[in-house]
Amino acid sequence: MAQHLIITAVGTDRPGIGNKIIHLISDLGCNIIDSRIALLGNDFTLIMLISGTASQVTRVEHSLPQLGAEHDLLTMVKRTSTHTELAQQFTIEAHIQADDKIGLTEQVTYFFASKEIGINALSAKTLNVEQHDKFQIALSASISGEYNLMQLQEEFASFCESLNVQGTLNFINNG
């Protein structure tokens, strides 16, 4: 039975640093199920889900800290299991643009949490546009077909208006 491991790594960005981790995982016989790499400031960040036999995953758990020490990376691992996909009929895609202000990401995530909608992915970024900081949030979530989409659309529009931000909410039918 396959074992699963979440890997995170953070360190100063430089060419090939992601490949060092990927090479280790492949060399130890594990499979990459899902991964994200992002640059935050001057740092490289990686989060990855891998699978393998119990002994392969254990070897990654023991080898990764050494690799991290050799390349000045902060690493962390956590055992997990496969994600059980729920049959959700719709995927939500939300996009918000606004002048940058503290607390906006929290307000957006609270909006969805208060409606018991779990966020699948979120990207939040400050951009300097014409000497003025603009903020963008993009997120995706999944909901069942029993959810009132019109009501959610109206509540989201009202929410965006109350914050004086521009937002769009799109629904993709998965069924």
Tens digits of residue pLDDT in 77-131: 999 987 666 667 889 999 999 998 899 999 999 999 999 999 999 999 988 767 7
86-107 burial, b at 16+ Cβ within 10 Å, e below that, comes to eebbbebebebbbeeeeebeee
CATH number for 90-173 (one of 3.30.70.260, 2.40.10.10, 2.160.10.10, 3.10.180.10): it is 3.30.70.260
CA nearest 124: which of 100, 143, 156, 142? 100
Mean pLDDT for 26-30 is 97
CA nearest 143: which of 151, 131, 132? 151
Fold classified for 3-80:
Alpha-Beta Plaits (3.30.70)
Per-residue tokens: 57: 């995953």
Say whether 90-173 and 3-80 share the same fold.
Answer: yes
Cα–Cα distance, 25 to 15 (Å, whole number): 18
**Measured on CA atoms in the order 129, 36, 84, 75, is the torsion positive or negative?**
negative
Answer with the residue of higher pLDDT: 133 or 49: 49
What local confidence, expressed as pLDDT, does residue 132 receive? 77
Tens-digit pLDDT profile for residues 38-90: 999 999 999 999 999 999 999 999 999 999 999 999 999 999 987 666 667 88
Are 120 and 142 in contact by the 8 Å Cβ rule? The answer is yes
Are 175 and 89 in contact by the 8 Å Cβ rule? The answer is yes
Q: For a pLDDT cut of 90, what percent of the chain falls above it? A: 81
What local confidence, expressed as pLDDT, does residue 83 receive? 67
Domain limits, the chain? 3-80, 90-173
What local confidence, expressed as pLDDT, does residue 85 receive? 62
Tens-digit pLDDT profile for residues 146-168: 889 999 999 999 999 999 999 99
